[in-house]
Structure 1
Amino acid sequence: MPFRRSCCCQGKKFLPSSKFNTCGSRTSFALFSSSSRCNGYDDTIHNLRIGGATRVIFQGFTGKQATANAKESIEWGTQIVGGVKPGGSGEHLGLPVFPSVRAAMEQLKPDATGIYVAAHQAAAAIEEALEAEVPLIVAVAEHIPLHEIMRIHSMLTAQSKSRLVGANAPGIISVIGRCRIGFQPLPCFSPGHIGIIAKSGTLSYETVGSLTRAGLGQSLCIGMGGDVITGTNFVDALKVFEHDDDTEAIIIVGELGGTAEEEAADWIRDYRKRVRDPKPIAGLIGGFQAPPGRIMGHAGAWVGLGEGTAESKYKALENAGVTMVDHPAKFGSVMKDSLAKSGRNVKKIVCLSIDQKSTYLTFCEEQLAAQAQQHRSYHTSRHLNRSQPFPPASQSPSQRRSLHLTVEQSLTLLNSSNIHIDSSPSSPLSSHFLGITVARSARSPCIIAAPITSPTQLPHRVRRFPFDYRTGPSHAEIQSAISCLQLDSSPPKAKAETVELIHSLWTLYRSKEAITITVSLSLPPGDDSIRVHDPYLFFDDAAYKSCARHSDLHALRDTSSVPAIELEAEKSGIVYIPLATPILSTDTAFASTQNPAVSLQSSPTNLIGTLVNGAGLAMNTTDVLYARFSSNSNPASAANFLDTGGKATARTIATSFQLLLSDPRVAVIFVNIFGGLTLCDMIAEGILLAFQDAGVDKPVVVRLRGTNEERGQEILRRARLPIQAFDDFEEAVREVGRLANGGR
């Protein structure tokens, strides 16, 4: 499928200035000519339709990761035509290297660029590609500071040439066209007719693997990424899939955080009404078991004020006619059934070269041989029992983040920004909610406002007023917020102070790279001045960890309230979050792990310690365990969320075991791995190391799929340790549940 390039805005250029942003990173704060706008960023959706004719360059081309990825992608069939190394030139992998994206664009005429640079360099690299008007920009780096991404999006929305996929995304891959721009594990993929859009990389690989094992291939797979805001969302991808002749059915994989899934549900509902023969759509949502106020691995995996929970997203999609599953291993059988019932054409792909076809058939034969040898088959487990619903996450305006300031610290910072905080009113005065946060759908900052502060009513009354990151809130946007606050009829002085407060909050928000800053304000009877109280502030840790900005601010972090086990996990790049016990026997159960001093002796001792690679898969694993076992008389669900991280090593796995074994509630350890960048043999070596160093005295169930899975399983078999290894998820889960309850 050739890449199609078209745009009605030809020859329009950036109008650069010499300014630098408050983040301290390189930027031109480039502004587009107003004449270059047509329908804006939506005009670039068609740029997602990559294929065999797509010409690709790499930024950071000569780096170690880019080199390895390029070799793999070229061998697979991707038409990589060169790359960029700032200030460099010459050749790499027999392809030309240019000193800038603009030079590469002029000489090579690429259709897409893959950005393979570290997080602190990524925003500048995206901007360079944007200035050169590369049609498709794919950014894979995680931990890019949020404010840099918001600035980039303010530029994207003002043009109609370039489309962004990512950041923090596995990328985009046309399986039919053999074009990969990203780091997807190629052995999992097979050419076919299912289009996939996913937030989670690991869950997307699980989805692909399930389809391939069921004899169904993929057409186009888009990883939108798990950041707070992304360059391409579900609706963008659905618009592509609707008109793509190679796509006969669609899968969407979402998770808690933002409203992209609800917006997809609205689009699907409309699509099914206006199209006579709609394409079957299946979906999955992760994050039902996420503790309120916690960020679940992905930067965007938290429920903002007024946003839907995982439960509400699931229901929205289900009500729109989407066939929902609770684990991606079920997608294969579900899509087979859906396609059979739809009567759509699922013709066999025959347009492969002999070498490509041989490679794919060899992969399939290896999979079948491995399954036959182990006498295991794919099972379709029961559908999610909605009579036993997942407990909904509570709505809370506060999020536990790496840096969430105390009240005293907030007062000091606000006062230094000329925002004076009063004590909370003792009498029941009318209070209003105001702040600056992120508008995920608008891909921008916004004013957040509500005429009340009641915790029960606030989520339903809050409204967001997005504005351009580069210019700040306009007069009209501020007036709309004041109207929402119901302060229109307030004294002129009070309204003027509210306007000034909004400007001050925005200045602080931008200068310190906050994610959310909110306050409550009151207007006492007979007074013409507002009173500001109850501040809440939390900040982007990526600005500090990736770019070393605001070190003085982040030095304020109080670790005394963070459990020691979580701090230990952080040192190894592991995200570890203890989960509440499903049924608590006493008030001192492990559900109170926000307090590290809580005794665990009276907690249940039949829970499952989970060790998973990838935030999305880790969320889904805890969800499934709860759904499978919560109705039992002696329920055994997950004790924790544990994401080993994208740079896991054997030592990381061993450390993860030590963390799990320190929880006295854990009766069995469940290692659930789908190897993408994470190699299954490396996971197996880490498990052996854990048995050697940690003195593992609990039953261990290991489920390995993906990259190097056979090698990993062989390592475990040869070790002759008390480990039960599976490749089928449902079989592994059943065994985990049996062991958690004493082997019954």
Structure 2
Amino acid sequence: MPALRTSHPPSLLSLSLTHPPKPSLPTRSRRPFSASPARPSYDDTVPNLRIGKHTRVIYQGFTGRVATTNAQDSLAYGTNIVGGVTPGKSGEHLGLPLLPDLRKAKEQLRPDATAVFVPASQCGKAIEDAIEAEIGLIVSVAEHIPLHDIMRVASILKTQSKSRLVGANAPGIIAPIGSCRIGFQPLPTFAPGHIGIAAKSGTLSYETVASITRSGLGQSLCIGMGGDIIAGTNLVDALRVFEADPETEGIILVGEIGGRAEEDAAEWIKEYRQRAGGKAKPIAALVGGLHAPPGRIMGHAGAWAAKGERTAAEKYKILQEAGATMVDHPENFGGVMKTLLRQSGRDVGKITQDAANQRRGYHTLRRRPTSLAQERSTRIASIPQQQRRGLLLRPDQAPGPLEPYLSHLAGLALSPEPAPTDAFHLGITVDRTARSPCIAASPTTNPAQLGQRVKRFPYDWRCGPSTATIQQALEHMQLDAAPPAALAHAKALIEALSAMYKAKEAVTLSSSVSIDSQTGNLVLHQPSLVLQFDDAAYRSNQRQGDIHSLRQTTTEVPEEVEAEAHGIVFVKLDDPSANIGTLVNGAGLAMNTIDALRQHGGRATNFLDTGGKATSATVKKSFELILQDPRVRVIFVNIFGGLTDGGMIAEGVLLAFREVAMQGVPVVVRIRGTNEAVGQKIIAESGLEVEAFDGFAEAARRVVELARR
């Protein structure tokens, strides 16, 4: 059989005659995951999100240091923790039963929910164990779980109607009104009340919660979707819970760039408002990443927009048109929600009074006593180190990895020429709503039309695309009437790319393709090739080393590579008129800081997320990175201390002033949240030329004023 034809010199692509290798991703042989009725539906598990005092919680990885600390705080909060599991161990831990496996825990402890506190490399298996045990709610908090592990989990979840997943890479779920916390949310921020909150971003959700707490409204239930590409529970799932929850009087959604969760939520909101009429609960929302650069991953693994996906600005407008009241900064949610409640005819005075009455019995104050230093140390130790997410190979690197998967496609050409105007778009990527891989196809590659013409055809991760699904994609591309050779190539190409997608744990594999008018064969255009792979597969599980060895850091932005080595996510923005350096903790908050600065007339030179393990040294390194950019005229430090300690950030700012040549660049600091008073006092008493503010708006106005000098 002839090798893949190429119109480039033979040295570019040398292909053997082998068939595509079988996937190397480990799979697990299991019995069917359900004793449910004949037609189980994962949607049937949405009510499992209604946690409270009744919820019996266990921990997987119970004796681990992070799980132990978290369980102690959650117990003090009032969570009904009934024990936990550590493989091979039994007895007691924290005065509660410790069992060696989940099956025994299910039988003896009768849990309603499990908190999965195990390393990312083991999370996929741990979640599967919980599904097999038919535990009603599974909360997975670890960051950097390989995408294809979660795809495998998602494919299993769809076959059953007993277990609901929250996460992965999520702060978890917390019901302040029932003192039940399953996750690592910063407890002092929360207060029992009557506002339901669902969010993709942890830090944005904490600041949202703080605003609602300060307003006196409090929270009924807060659900963290998590920032990964695939979420076990999405915004629509949360909306369904909030609609049915009698304790929830108002709803807040916090979205961001990437995926279609916000669009799906907008469709639900439209239907809900028609269905409920004047009794509809008011809904407010925020979307982060309005000014994120195209094609960049903004901290969260899922914070990027694929071809055909809406921008954050478009999603903002879609939600607004659906009836959600849009907010530009999370500190404004409290006042906005009070106004919306009044406009909907609800008694705000009664709601706040009821919340205040519940707050008198709040369990947060029963936390075990620790010194400030111990508290900081514990909080930092419980948060995973940031990692780079996603390896994107350059088009000239693509032929090597592609070779084993396309070598059997006789006559298929790889051209070094750009795609012609009549080319098609074809690829395999993620359908986040379907929680599965999909064929992404479009009859055009015209940038002006591509967003509207790309259509996704989901398929089961375990089985690959069916013949019917492939045919649907080809019909949408208008290739069903193509010459026989091109049609055969297109079918085989989809099968080959889907095999490579699973075997090499890709995020997106795509290309522009056209039909050779002389031969009737299909042509791949190399300049358009996109080969993006999941970095977590290598970092967390040491899989796909051959792919990730192709990374060439010398071709990347030096500051971004340097930041990565220190656990910092740094993205240099290209705006030549920008002159404000930003230092923020949390990807969602960092995106929103850039957006909100634009509202005040300022432009940021960078996106910088110090990460959950922000220390004084990390803050110092962040200043060094920011000051490498000659555009910077002022630095804005915007910290919400949910998991990051405000006092520590303040100390980091002072350390930077002492040890970094600040070059006369002024610094404005806003510290809110955990130990905000400590941080603000440290700044105020430092004697250094650092300006400290409490509110975002006043801080942003001062930053813009300094930038214009």
User: Same fold judged by TM-score > 0.5?
Assistant: yes
> 1:689: which partner in 2?
655
- Take 1:426 and 1:168, find their aligned partners in 2: how far apart are those partners? 38
> 2:321: which partner in 1?
319
- Take 2:312 and 2:520, find their aligned partners in 1: how far apart are those partners? 43
1:343 Cα shift? 1.9
Deviation readout 1:232-253 (Å, 9 max, x if unpaired): 1111110110111000000001
Task: Return the match for 1:612 from 580, 584, 601.
Answer: 584
Change (3 A) 1:211 1:245: same
Match status 1:740 vs 2:699: no
> 1:248: which partner in 2?
249
1:22 Cα shift? 4.3
Task: Identify unmatched segments of 5+ residues in structure 2.
Answer: 1-21, 367-387
> 2:374: which partner in 1?
none
1:459 Cα shift? 2.1
> 2:370: which partner in 1?
none
Deviates more, 1:137-146 or 1:23-32: 23-32
Match status 1:628 vs 2:600: yes
1:684 Cα shift? 1.5
The 5-angstrom pairing of residues 94-173 of structure 1 reads: 94-173=95-174
- Take 2:282 and 2:613, find their aligned partners in 1: how far apart are those partners? 36
Deviation readout 1:713-736 (Å, 9 max, x if unpaired): 232233222211222222211221
The 5-angstrom pairing of residues 413-424 of structure 1 reads: 413-419=401-407, 421-424=413-416
- Take 2:669 and 2:406, find their aligned partners in 1: how far apart are those partners? 56
> 2:291: which partner in 1?
289
Deviates more, 1:52-61 or 1:415-424: 415-424
Match status 1:722 vs 2:694: no
Length-normalised TM-score, structure 1: 0.85
1:467 Cα shift? 0.3
Match status 1:664 vs 2:630: yes
Identity %: 57
8 Å Cα contact 1:674/1:704 also seen in 2: yes
Q: Secondary structure at the match of 1:546?
A: helix
**Paired AA for residue 403 in structure 2:** N
1:560 Cα shift? 2.4
Change (3 A) 1:33 1:513: same
**Paired AA for residue 676 in structure 1:** G
- Take 2:24 and 2:689, find their aligned partners in 1: how far apart are those partners? 52
1:559 Cα shift? 1.8
1:24 Cα shift? 4.5
Change (3 A) 1:282 1:492: same
Match status 1:707 vs 2:674: yes
Match status 1:408 vs 2:408: no
**Paired AA for residue 287 in structure 1:** G
Q: Secondary structure at the match of 1:456?
A: helix
> 1:49: which partner in 2?
50
> 1:649: which partner in 2?
615
- Take 1:168 and 1:733, find their aligned partners in 2: how far apart are those partners? 30
- Take 1:401 and 1:214, find their aligned partners in 2: how far apart are those partners? 37
Q: Secondary structure at the match of 1:208?
A: helix
Change (3 A) 1:279 1:514: same
- Take 1:230 and 1:662, find their aligned partners in 2: how far apart are those partners? 37
Change (3 A) 1:653 1:303: same
The 5-angstrom pairing of residues 22-421 of structure 1 reads: 22=23, 24-25=25-26, 27-28=28-29, 31-32=32-33, 36-276=37-277, 277-345=279-347, 346=351, 348-349=354-355, 352=358, 356=362, 359=365, 402-419=390-407, 421=413
- Take 2:594 and 2:657, find their aligned partners in 1: how far apart are those partners? 24
Length-normalised TM-score, structure 2: 0.89
8 Å Cα contact 1:226/1:298 also seen in 2: yes
Q: Secondary structure at the match of 2:542?
A: coil
Change (3 A) 1:23 1:247: farther
1:429 Cα shift? 7.4
8 Å Cα contact 1:199/1:223 also seen in 2: yes
Deviates more, 1:556-565 or 1:155-164: 556-565
8 Å Cα contact 2:310/2:451 also seen in 1: no
> 1:507: which partner in 2?
499
1:174 Cα shift? 0.3
**Paired AA for residue 181 in structure 1:** I
8 Å Cα contact 1:29/1:470 also seen in 2: no
**Paired AA for residue 322 in structure 1:** A
Deviates more, 1:301-310 or 1:721-730: 721-730
Q: Secondary structure at the match of 2:559?
A: helix
Match status 1:552 vs 2:540: no
1:425 Cα shift? 5.8
**Paired AA for residue 480 in structure 1:** Q
> 2:3: which partner in 1?
none
> 2:424: which partner in 1?
432
8 Å Cα contact 2:418/2:525 also seen in 1: no
1:64 Cα shift? 1.1
1:357 Cα shift? 7.2
Change (3 A) 1:402 1:248: closer
8 Å Cα contact 2:612/2:643 also seen in 1: yes
> 1:477: which partner in 2?
469
- Take 1:139 and 1:339, find their aligned partners in 2: how far apart are those partners? 33
Task: Return the match for 2:482 from 460, 468, 490.
Answer: 490
- Take 1:35 and 1:335, find their aligned partners in 2: how far apart are those partners? 40
Change (3 A) 1:733 1:37: farther
Change (3 A) 1:427 1:643: closer
**Paired AA for residue 279 in structure 1:** K
- Take 1:561 and 1:241, find their aligned partners in 2: how far apart are those partners? 47
Q: Secondary structure at the match of 2:74?
A: helix
- Take 1:350 and 1:141, find their aligned partners in 2: how far apart are those partners? 34
Task: Identify unmatched segments of 5+ residues in structure 1.
Answer: 1-20, 361-399, 582-588, 590-603, 630-635
Match status 1:529 vs 2:531: no
Root mean square deviation of aligned Cα: 2.1
- Take 1:427 and 1:219, find their aligned partners in 2: how far apart are those partners? 53
- Take 1:698 and 1:35, find their aligned partners in 2: how far apart are those partners? 63
- Take 1:518 and 1:353, find their aligned partners in 2: how far apart are those partners? 53
Across the two proteins, how many residue pairs are aligned to each other?
A: 655
> 1:564: which partner in 2?
558
1:536 Cα shift? 2.0
1:355 Cα shift? 5.3
